[in-house]
Amino acid sequence: MFSLDVYQTRRDRLKAQLPDGAMAVIAAAEEVIRNRDAEYPFRQSSDFLYLTGFNEPDAVLVLRPNAPERLFVRPRDPDREVWTGRRLGPERVQESLGIAEGSPLDALPTDMQAMLDETTWLEYPFDCKVTSALIEKCLADRKSHGRRQELLSHRVDLSRRLHQARMIKGPEEIQAMQTAGRISAAGHVDAMRMCRPGLTEDQLASVVEHRFRMEGSPSVAYQTIVGGGENACILHYIDRQDPLHDGDLVLIDAGCEIEGYAGDITRTFPVNGRFSGPQAEIYDLVLQAQADALAEMCVGRSIRLYHQTAVRTLTEGLIALGFIQGPLEDALEEKRFHPFYMHGTGHLLGLDVHDVGRYENDGEPVLLEDGMVLTCEPGLYLSQRLSIPEQFQGIGVRIEDDVLITADGPQVLTGDVPKSRDEIEALMRDGACAVS
């Protein structure tokens, strides 16, 4: 958790944007059952975490301009806590979270109705199922009790303000993301060191995740992808049951979470430590596309430009390889690269791996700003389904780094894991790497 004033500043900024008579409501995540009575690991709602730093389920934050902040939480319950873990309880909300009023969750239905009586403008994140359900319930109760109804038609999506704020990272967020980048890189370095034919994809994933955990990350930021050979051509491949074969490449897309902030790295390397000729050719083309794209990740440039640049480099290469027909401009216009490269070159990164924020405003692309963090992740996926020479089939390559946009140019947060072929081969041969 960051210092309390970080969260206070975020809440103050949000409240300052709300009109008089407004009430903003944001609910915590709920626990999710995996099977019978076993739960998935708890992950807090990113919006709620952003505003409170509080990591328990079943809580509701209420913000109003010119009124004390309120947080409804689970009450203390020594008997339950023996079974399911410690609870903060309303008594400790003020001291631990800096939120003026802590209240027990069972006071919420009555207190909400009283607050709604004084509310003329109701905001909540429409994309949050838990908050939306809570609001629907409160408004339905109002109706059945004959209370004022205008709010039914005065509801505003809080996500716009909140997600705009989350797009630009502050110093403490940047520090967390630098740490996430460093630890994520260390996991990839370990995977390169440990990889050998015969390991399964899942065993290699465990090497990456072991390092994350040992470095203090409580969780992966998303399901770790490890795809050998043709499996690398499945973009979100999480099966990981196949053995890794001598002569294939393996693609690992893995990132850890620090303070809820995601790292997101992809590296592709030979299972046996040596790139074949065709693998090297494709790898270097993707690496060149990434270098060209990274050079465009500068303040003031369109958020779309670095994708267009990567696509241009990849398309030139695909024409040179004879996989698609030129001339270049026609190939770009007709998107002939699409069977080989079907995703964007990056996304905003933060508390969510595909982070919130807008890529366009009124149809115009957003311009990159100091403090944004985005990934840069070109790839080529030469599936066996494609009509290309056999020696290229089953080669999937993606190279992904996390990039902080600064006034001094792009700053790569994930540079501690090698990506040139020479560096990768040296690391896999004799363990040599700048990262320990």
* Cα→Cα distances 319→278, 280, 284, 324, 425, Å: 15, 17, 15, 5, 28
Q: Which residue is nearest to ligand GLY (CB)?
A: 253
Candidate ranges 231-239, 242-250, 253-261, 363-371; the one touching Mn ion (CB under 5 A)? 253-261
Binding-site member from 173, 230, 253, 355 for Mn ion (CB under 5 A): 253
Name the minimum Å distance from CB 247 to Mn ion: 25
**For this structure, is 201 an active site residue?**
no
**For this structure, is 264 an active site residue?**
yes
Q: Which is nearer to ligand GLY, 166 or 336 (CB)?
A: 166
Binding-site member from 309, 345, 375, 414 for Mn ion (CB under 5 A): 375
**For this structure, is 381 an active site residue?**
yes
Q: One of 37, 79, 408, 422 is an active-site residue; which one? A: 37
The rounded Cα 124 to chain-centroid distance in angstroms is 22
Q: One of 398, 402, 416, 425 is an active-site residue; which one? A: 398
Name the minimum Å distance from CB 334 to ligand GLY: 26
Residues that bind ligand GLY (CB under 6 A): 222, 253, 264, 347, 353, 377, 400
* Cα→Cα distances 157→23, 112, 121, 350, 364, Å: 12, 18, 11, 21, 21
Residue 356 binds which entry of Mn ion, ligand GLY, none, CB below 5-8 Å type-dependent: none
Give the pairing type, strands 265-270 and 364-365.
unpaired
**For this structure, is 347 an active site residue?**
yes
As a whole number of angstroms, the distance between CA 258 and CA 181 comes to 9
Instruction: Tell me how crowded residue 286 is: count the other CB atoms within 10 A of its CB.
Output: 24
3-class SS at 401?
Answer: strand
Please enumerate in sequence order all residues whose Cβ is within 8 A of that of 336, keeping only pairs 6 or more positions apart, or say none.
315, 318, 324, 325, 330
How many CA atoms, within 13 angstroms, populate the side-chain half-sphere of residue 155?
Answer: 15
Q: Is 119 in the site for Mn ion (CB under 5 A)?
A: no
As a whole number of angstroms, the distance between CA 287 and CA 419 comes to 8
Burial class (CB in 10 A: 0-12, 13-18, 19+), 227: buried
Q: Which is nearer to ligand GLY, 165 or 256 (CB)?
A: 256
Contact set for Mn ion, span 262-281 (CB under 5 A):
264
Q: One of 201, 264, 316, 416 is an active-site residue; which one? A: 264
Name the minimum Å distance from CB 231 to ligand GLY: 15
Token pair, residue 422, equals: 């020479």
Residue 201 binds which entry of ligand GLY, Mn ion, none, CB below 5-8 Å type-dependent: none
**For this structure, is 7 an active site residue?**
no
As a whole number of angstroms, the distance between CA 172 and CA 259 comes to 10
Q: Among 145, 153, 132, which Cα is nearest to 47's?
A: 132
Q: One of 381, 401, 402, 416 is an active-site residue; which one? A: 381
- Would you say how long the chain is, in residues? 436
Q: One of 47, 69, 230, 253 is an active-site residue; which one? A: 253
Q: Which is nearer to ligand GLY, 119 or 217 (CB)?
A: 217
Kindly list the residues in this chain that would bind Mn ion in the complex (CB under 5 A).
253, 264, 375, 400
Q: Which residues participate in catalysis according to the annotation? A: 37, 236, 253, 264, 343, 347, 354, 377, 381, 398, 400
